[in-house]
């Protein structure tokens, strides 16, 4: 019987499918995230590894698993895995694209609305000193209708963000390495802008790009200097796209109006300076943290293991 190791506790749908297909399943059940040392101990005799974005699968881990045939990553990203080295060992690496799109889109829009209407700040006020009552100039925020949204990264999530933003009356612009055709841009009702112009003109900037060498610190001190001082930044892409050491002083200096972060440069660590700012919303990487999305992701990773075990090609291979 082939062995599968799960580096975290996953939705039951994954365990059910694996066991129904005569696979021996073991899971990490400890507190917090699995350590590198613990994963190293567990992979020695396994055939398949199901792991998470938060777990590094490096050369040492791969070398410790001579029978390993597949690393099924639970997430759309896969920068936690040395995919190139895995390929040299004949190990396929898969991810779980697309199924997170709706959830991450909803979180993006929710953060945008929460920032512009100061919802988290208002909740904090009501839980502490409260307020004296409704007044014409009290606690004003901004409507998003009529504002320009700049989307950085127009993949499946970016396109859905564009659809929702259009429905809410926003003017949608975007930047990415592969501009749409004029026909497709018209259908989506979006307008391409060079990154510098998008940063200068947008009222809201939504980062929905993947983490790559090209996007690393795409938003640095120069970018924040160019933003409107009334603009908001939302990052639900990858933490290292934003230079947080530059973002924090920019926020303190009022170079932008606020920020909402679901991902972090040194995740899970967050600079305490952000926690002290009322115009910053911090959420714990919950972009796809819904029952629906996580069950769909679990089905994909388990099914890929089953496919390969049955001599078929797994889906969503990222290191072919």
Task: Give the residue numbers marked as catalytic.
Answer: 238, 267, 285
- Using an 8 Å Cβ cutoff, are 185 and 191 in contact? yes
Task: Choose among 59, 98, 109: nearest CA to 75.
Answer: 98
Rounded to whole angstroms, what are the CA distances from 292 to 136, 170, 295, 297? 41, 28, 5, 9
Rounded to a whole number, what is the distance in angstroms from the first to the last CA of the chain? 26
What backbone torsions phi and psi does residue 154 show, to the nearest 5 degrees? -105, 55
Task: Choose among 44, 40, 38, 46: nearest CA to 3.
Answer: 46
CA–CA separation, 145 and 258 (whole Å): 18
Q: Give, for 187, the enclosing helix (H) or strand (E).
A: helix 182-188
The alpha-carbon radius of gyration of the chain (Å, integer) is 22
Q: How many CB atoms lie within 10 A of CB 48?
A: 28
């Amino acid at each position: 019987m082939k062995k599968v190791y799960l580096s975290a506790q996953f939705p039951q749908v994954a365990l059910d499918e694996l066991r129904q297909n005569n696979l021996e399943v073991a899971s990490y059940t400890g507190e917090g995230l699995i350590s590198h040392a613990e994963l190293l101990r567990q992979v020695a005799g396994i055939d398949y590894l199901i792991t998470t974005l938060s777990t590094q699968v490096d050369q040492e881990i791969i070398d410790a698993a001579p029978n390993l045939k597949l690393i099924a990553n639970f997430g759309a990203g896969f920068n936690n895995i040395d995919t190139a080295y895995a390929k040299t060992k004949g190990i396929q690496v898969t991810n779980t694209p697309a199924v997170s799109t709706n959830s991450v889109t909803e979180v993006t829009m929710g953060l945008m609305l929460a920032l512009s209407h100061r919802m988290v700040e208002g909740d904090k006020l009501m839980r502490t000193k409260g307020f004296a009552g409704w007044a014409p100039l009290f606690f004003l925020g901004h409507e998003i209708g009529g504002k320009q949204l700049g989307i950085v990264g127009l993949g499946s999530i970016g396109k859905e963000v564009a659809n929702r933003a259009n429905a809410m009356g926003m003017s949608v612009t975007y930047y990415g390495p592969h501009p749409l055709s004029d026909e497709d841009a018209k259908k989506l009702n979006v307008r391409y802008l060079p990154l510098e112009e998008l940063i200068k003109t947008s009222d809201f900037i939504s980062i929905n790009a993947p983490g790559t060498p090209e996007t690393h610190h795409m938003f640095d001190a120069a970018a924040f200097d160019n933003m409107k001082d009334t603009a908001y930044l939302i990052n639900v892409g990858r933490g290292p796209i934003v230079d947080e050491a530059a973002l924090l002083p920019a926020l303190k200096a009022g170079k932008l109006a606020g920020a909402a972060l679901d991902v972090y440069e040194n995740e899970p660590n967050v600079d305490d300076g952000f926690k002290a700012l009322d115009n910053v919303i911090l959420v714990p990487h919950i972009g796809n943290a819904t029952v629906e999305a996580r069950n769909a992701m679990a089905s994909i990773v388990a099914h890929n293991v089953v496919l390969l075990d049955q001599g078929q090609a797994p889906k969503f291979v990222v290191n072919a």
